[in-house]
Amino acid sequence: MKTSLLTLLLRLLRSPSGLKSLGRFTQQYPVEELADRAERGRQSVFPLTELDEFGKALLGAPIYQPAPTRHDTLDKLLIVPPLYTPLRLKKMEELMREPLFTDVDTSCTVGGFKSTIPVVIASMGSTPIYNKVSLDVARAAAQLGVPMGVGENVATVWGYSSRVKPSQPCFKERVMTYLNNMREGVGGVFVQQSVEDAYDELWNKVYSDPDITPYINEGKVGFEIKLGQGAKPGLGGETFVERELALRLSDKYSFDADPKLVEKPLYERHSAPGTFNAEILRSMIRLMHNNYPRARVWIKSGPYRDIEEVATLCSEESADVFWIDGKEGGTGLSPVSALKDLGLPLISCLGKVSRLRKRLAIDFVCSGRLVDGGDVVKVLCFGAAAAGLGRPVVVAAYTRGEEGVRNYLETIKMEVQLMTSAVGKYRVSDLGLEDVYASSTQLARDLGISSIYD
């Protein structure tokens, strides 16, 4: 009886006449969401429409759809050029001709690595949808001279130096594919380690690996402490796995049911978020400097309310990079409520970066729903050394493999050159707050920039 009543109610809600007859209250009430929770229980907490969707779909905050209107986004910012451009005049004198957008120098140094364009590839983890194309991304990024991360849980789930599943590259394949395709003098790879990876001493393995050691000696390898991510700050890794994988990982991860005792199609796999206070983080960074002195130290942080305090500590301890991922950032799997309600948006984080960079000696990377070169330039205007890209690279890889990633990154470079030259500058490091305006006076005051109405 309950099912038939629910079916009838949903039919009414989905028809114009039914909506009208049920009235305005039921039009606005989230009946379908509540019904989904009643039907699917715990699985409805995550953005899955089918049981087998995870690992085969890009989840997390929308990429190309209109941004949420509950808070301000980068869409509220405009890159505004002046007519008078003294740096263009200086460039003209240097070149002895009128400068073109192709004269813009897009190179940067971020976290001890040199990059040909002001972007880095985010440390995406062990989800099958990314891992399957990870070698295409590694080759393209290395050949273009763009630093790349390797995310948490890859070695634990897919093996360190040999594949545990024929169709899925192992951890070392991802790292060595990048390192073996690097251009002279540019690029670098950085490795995340989760709590579960630490049980297997991942960083120790990498640092002592004879195949990777020469690159470590050249300063081309970094280790990244993950303090969270934009889509789920304060939460650990969440995923669904099939029974075969759950059995293999049962001693390292927490599951909603013991796969040795309970048989079902999919299991919730939970990993710990890590526990920090100032002394724990300070000790961790010092331990990294002591144990891995030739490795770069990268810090990846979610959009926390105490982000300025955390960034200050990381700078004091001589970390190379502080990466802030706004709440719009994507993820393999995040609770729906976290995507909606958890963390600070990227535009808020950028306001903090613009203040922090004036007093801290550390490179900033910012990410969170960045798609094109205009997004990258806006991030650079607030003082970031580079922008972090994740899911767009995955889309590019599935569209046309390695070539698709190269094509996508080339479009980013071209757009960054176009936007930078438009404001009369010819090095991305010259971009500043004067080049970006807010679409409202209140937002302008909050961010310390000009309003389009000034």
- Calculate the alpha carbon distances from 273 to 43, 174, 195, 302 in Å: 20, 24, 8, 11
The total number of structural domains that make up the chain:
3
Q: How much of the chain exceeds pLDDT 90, in percent?
A: 63
Q: Of 17-26, 36-45, 338-347, 411-420, which range is least confident?
A: 17-26
Dihedral sign for Cα atoms in the order 396, 123, 376, 436: positive
User: Average pLDDT of 206-233?
Assistant: 93
Mean predicted confidence (pLDDT) in 410-420: 96
Q: Name 268's bridge partners.
A: 240
Check residue 1 and give its pLDDT: 40
Beta strands 266-270 and 254-255 are antiparallel
> Does residue 168 sit in the same domain as residue 119?
yes
Which structural domain, as residue segments, surrounds residue 127?
A: 74-236+275-451
Q: pLDDT by residue (tens digit) across 289-299?
A: 999 999 999 99
Does 53 fall in a domain? no
Asked whether residue 62 is domain-assigned, the answer is no
Q: Based on the domain organization, do 131 and 182 belong to the same domain?
A: yes
Q: Phi/psi at 386 (nearest 5 deg)?
A: -160, 165
Global confidence as pTM:
0.84
241 and 380 both lie in a single domain: no
Report the C-alpha gap between 181 and 164 in whole angstroms.
24
**Residues 201-219, mean pLDDT to the nearest whole number:** 97
Q: Which residue has the higher pLDDT, 161 or 339?
A: 161
Same domain, 191 and 106: yes
- Given this model, what pLDDT does residue 52 score? 43
CATH number at residue 180: 3.20.20.70
Q: State residue 330 phi and psi, 5-degree precision.
A: -85, 175
Greater confidence (262 vs 236) lies with 262
Q: Does residue 262 sit in the same domain as residue 308?
A: no
Assigned domain for 439 exists: yes
**Confidence grade of residue 332 (pLDDT, cut at 50, 70, 90):** low
Evaluate if residue 112 carries a pLDDT over 90.
Answer: yes
Instruction: Give the number of other Cβ atoms within 10 Å of residue 253's Cβ.
Output: 24
**Whether residue 257 is found in the same domain as residue 295:** no
Domain membership flag for residue 51: no
Indicate the burial class of 330 (C-beta count within 10 angstroms; 0-12, 13-18, 19 or more): buried
pLDDT tens track for 132-191: 999 999 999 999 999 999 988 899 989 999 999 999 999 999 999 999 999 999 999 999
Q: Is residue 58 part of a domain?
A: no
One domain for residues 24 and 97? no
* Domain shared by 165 and 309, yes or no: yes
Question: What are the DSSP calls for 388-438, one per residue?
Answer: EE-HHHHHHHHHHHHHHHHHHHHHHHHHHHHHHHHTT-SBGGG--GGGEEE
| pLDDT on residue 256 | 81
Predicted pLDDT at 64: 40
Q: Are 6 and 31 in contact (CB under 8 A)?
A: no
- Sort 233 into a burial class: Cβ within 10 Å, 0-12 / 13-18 / 19+: buried
Q: Give which of 319, 317, 322 is closest to 349, Cα–Cα.
A: 322
pLDDT score, position 105: 98
57 in any annotated domain:
no
CA distances to 49, 297, 389 from 112, in Å = 42, 9, 18
Are 113 and 147 within 8 A, CB to CB? Answer: yes
Residue 183 lies in a domain: yes
The reported pLDDT for the residue numbered 235 is: 77
12, 82: one domain: no
Min mean pLDDT across 54-63, 219-228, 258-267, 291-300 is at 54-63
3-state secondary structure of 286: helix
Band of residue 13 on the pLDDT scale cut at 50, 70, 90: low
Question: Three-class SS of residue 131?
Answer: helix
Residues 247 and 218 in one domain: no
The neighbouring-strand residues paired with 149 are 190
Mean model confidence pLDDT for the chain = 87
Same-domain status, 172 and 230: yes
Residue 109: strand pairing partners: 114
* Both structure tokens of 404: 């698709």
Greater model confidence, 333 or 254: 254
φ and ψ at residue 344, rounded to 5 degrees: -95, 140
Looking at the structure, tell me whether residues 173 and 259 fall in a common domain.
no
Collapsing DSSP to helix, strand or coil, 324 comes out as: strand
Structural domain contains residue 67:
no
